[in-house]
Amino acid sequence: MKEELVTLTIDGQEVKAKKGTTILQAAKQAGIDIPTLCFLKDINEVGDCRMCIVEVEGRRGFATSCIQTIEEGMVVHTHTPNVLEARHVILDLIISNHAKDCLTCTRSGNCELQALATKFNVLNVEFEGERAEHKIDDLSPSIVRDFNKCILCRRCVAACKKVQKIGAIDCINRGFESCISTAYDHSLNDVNCTNCGQCIEACPTGALHEKETIDDVWIKLKDPESYVIAQTAPAVRVALGEEFGMPIGTNVTNKMVTALKRLGFDKVFDTNTGADFTIMEEANEFIERFKENKDLPMITSCSPGWVKYIEMNYPELLPHLSTCKSPHQMFGALLKTYYAKKENIDPSKIYVVSVMPCIAKKFERQRDEMKNGEFYDVDNVITTRELSRMIKQANIEFTKLEDSEFDSPMGEATGAAAIFGTTGGVMEAALRTAQDTLTGKNLESIDFKQVRGGDGIKKATVNIAGTDIKVVAASGLANAQEILEEIKNGKSDYQFVEIMACPGRMCYGWWSTN
């Protein structure tokens, strides 16, 4: 069936778009920019902020372009004097009830509100008056909420409720007292938050940000008695360069290693090594369970946000979880036992810092079960953004750094660990190892592409050593819920399940405002 097209005019340009398309979408298709603030494509299309207002000939007032659908013959103007003035007033009103610490804000230079204020020349706030004063919630090990920077765009609410189906936050109170918070205004640390961080990625300002711990790292780096080790996740090496103006996706592994050594780390290791150990443990655990037909399906346990989710919502299914720690935790344990003994280093002197894209790992590292006697496996977790701040604080010109290699003997890893970065990658790596273990032969083809990819839920049947294994990989907690309901209700015939908390197996920056 042929799609019905609608013809309209936007800023004097004839535009054709499918019926049902919004003005904002039609303008985007035509290369015409309309500013937005509360809008997130397919997630939060509510028209609350009104930044995307336009004028439509023949109608009184303004139209909100993110929710107004196009009509045949419609004539739209996106930057008339009235529209520009209205947007200026809207920004002025928002900023009048906003914290004015932009220079010291963690999002300075990367804040959508700040960018719009600059674009529309909002230099002075005309609407001075009473400003709401809110508390700062910093009790969570992963997330800090500063209500004073919240603009009530509700993007975080939509991400938590619609994408992850958690609903830990929503708008509470009314009128001037309205704010985004939890049930009974409790801390995020005391409600059903999984620390997945999707709310942070959705937030356009500094109202939500990861809990920064780089000051603790600096103290240890300057302590001559401490032996400080950095381990870095694969995702960091292709995200860090963007913080220094390099093209998105640039692999900066060797410059990153150099930067970490310049900062003062005694050793720099690749978390892929820890991932290899996880793969071996998980593969052998699956083989044992499969042979005994015990606690199937086995579900991966690498994602700390996912682990917290099943603990809170499906505790009866906990026996299905793999007993393996996540790669960085397993590696931390090895560093304070095997490596410490090998290098004759007192484990109490070793301080392990994991550089990760996932803020849930900040929560994970301080769990009681991540402790071996008196020592935590990992002492600190910092994000890619935190590492970039440390590099900038040290006045290191990142783009001009020479290349360095990861340290050995803990610096080598197989290629299998690298595919952890895509949905189904953990399962695929474990299945490869299981196949090799059971057959005793090197595989001619090492790719189980049926279980890898960006789909929210991906099901497949793979043949391992002559036996068909039914598997499923899910990313995002909403999709995890669907799989868990199947298992809970006895409608599942899977033997192996991979679940990652982050949608699309992406732990940072996936939201689209286009």
User: What is the per-residue pLDDT across 229-252, written as a single tens digit (0 to 9) for each?
Assistant: 999 998 899 899 999 999 988 999
Measure the CA–CA gap between 455 and 364, rounded to whole angstroms: 26
For 367, the token pair is 């769990």
pLDDT at 87: 95
User: Hey, which CATH number is domain 126-209, 3.30.110.40, 3.40.50.1780, 3.40.50.12170, 3.30.70.20?
Assistant: 3.30.70.20
Q: Is the pLDDT of residue 390 over 50?
A: yes
Measure the CA–CA gap between 418 and 234, rounded to whole angstroms: 6
CA angle 68, 74, 80 (to 5 degrees): 80
Query: Based on the number of CB atoms within 10 Å of its own CB, is 180 exposed (0-12), middle (13-18) or buried (19 or more)?
Result: buried
Task: Tell me the per-residue pLDDT of 131-162, one tens digit each, with 9 for 90 and over.
Answer: 777 889 999 999 999 988 999 999 999 999 99
User: Hey, which CATH number is domain 216-505, 2.60.40.10, 3.40.50.1780, 1.10.3720.10, 3.40.50.300?
Assistant: 3.40.50.1780
Q: What average pLDDT is seen over the chain?
A: 88
Token look-up 């609608």 returns 6
**What would the mean pLDDT of 35-55 be, rounded to a whole number?**
94
Percentage of the residues of the chain whose pLDDT score is greater than 90: 64
Cβ–Cβ < 8 Å for 107, 205: yes
Instruction: HSE, CB side, 13 Å, CA atoms: give it for residue 263.
Output: 29
Whose CA is closest to 168, among 141, 147, 199? 199
Q: How confident is the model at residue 396 (pLDDT cuts 50, 70, 90)?
A: very high
Residue at 238: amino acid letter: V
pLDDT at 514: 43
Q: CB 495: neighbour CB atoms within 10 A?
A: 21
Global pTM reads 0.86
Measure the CA–CA gap between 270 and 201, rounded to whole angstroms: 26
**H or E segment and range at residue 326:** none
Measure the CA–CA gap between 162 and 357, rounded to whole angstroms: 22
What is the end-to-end Cα distance of the chain in Å, rounded? 27
**What would the mean pLDDT of 71-91 be, rounded to a whole number?**
95
User: Which of 38-42, 97-101, 258-262, 317-321 has the least mean pLDDT?
Assistant: 97-101
Q: Is the pLDDT of residue 505 over 50?
A: no
In this structure, whether the domain defined by 5-79 belongs to CATH 3.10.20.740 is answered with yes
Instruction: In the chain, list all ranges with CATH 3.30.70.20.
Output: 126-209
Instruction: In the chain, list all ranges with CATH 3.10.20.740.
Output: 5-79
Distance of alpha carbon 301 from the chain centroid: 17
User: Which of 50-59, 69-78, 287-296, 459-468 has the least mean pLDDT?
Assistant: 459-468
Measure the CA–CA gap between 502 and 483, rounded to whole angstroms: 15
Instruction: In the chain, list all ranges with CATH 3.40.50.1780.
Output: 216-505
**Strand-pair partners of 463:** 468
